[in-house]
Amino acid sequence: MSIYGMSDLAILREIGLRLKRKRLEKNLPQQRLADLAGLNRTTIGEAERGTPFSILTLVQILRALKALEELDSFLPDPGISPLQLAKMKGKERRRASPQTTNSNEGEFDW
């Protein structure tokens, strides 16, 4: 199944499973990982079960697992393409442009 077909909670459960696998790969009990990350053991268990947790908690866990480089594959730095840089005359883009189409794709209806 495509990740886009998964619910947000299903994605959190998948992230939790991957964190658990990484912890077990390092042969660390939850309590030891919690101590290394400066977190409560309960927080580690909840994260591994897919309970919503903060990005800060994710960073603390990955740091304790010595796996911060995983963030590069998760969200790589897109950099600035040479064509885009030339088009903008060497200035870095600081904000998005307003959309000119009538497409509602990607918009939320609150």
Taking only the tens place, the pLDDT of each residue in 61-95 is 999 999 999 988 888 888 777 777 777 776 665 67
How many residues does this entry show for the chain? 110
Here the tokens at position 35 are: 């101590």
Question: Of residues 10 and 102, which shows the higher confidence score?
Answer: 10
Rounded distance, CA 38 to CA 59, Å? 11
Predicted model pTM: 0.72
Here the tokens at position 67 are: 């796996």
Here the tokens at position 90 are: 């060497």
pLDDT band at residue 108, thresholds of 50, 70 and 90? low
Domains and CATH numbers, the chain: 3-74 (1.10.260.40)
Residue written as token pair 């939320």: 108
Taking only the tens place, the pLDDT of each residue in 8-65 is 999 999 999 999 999 999 999 999 999 999 999 999 999 999 999 999 999 999 999 9
Residue written as token pair 């393409």: 81
pLDDT, residue 27, reads 97
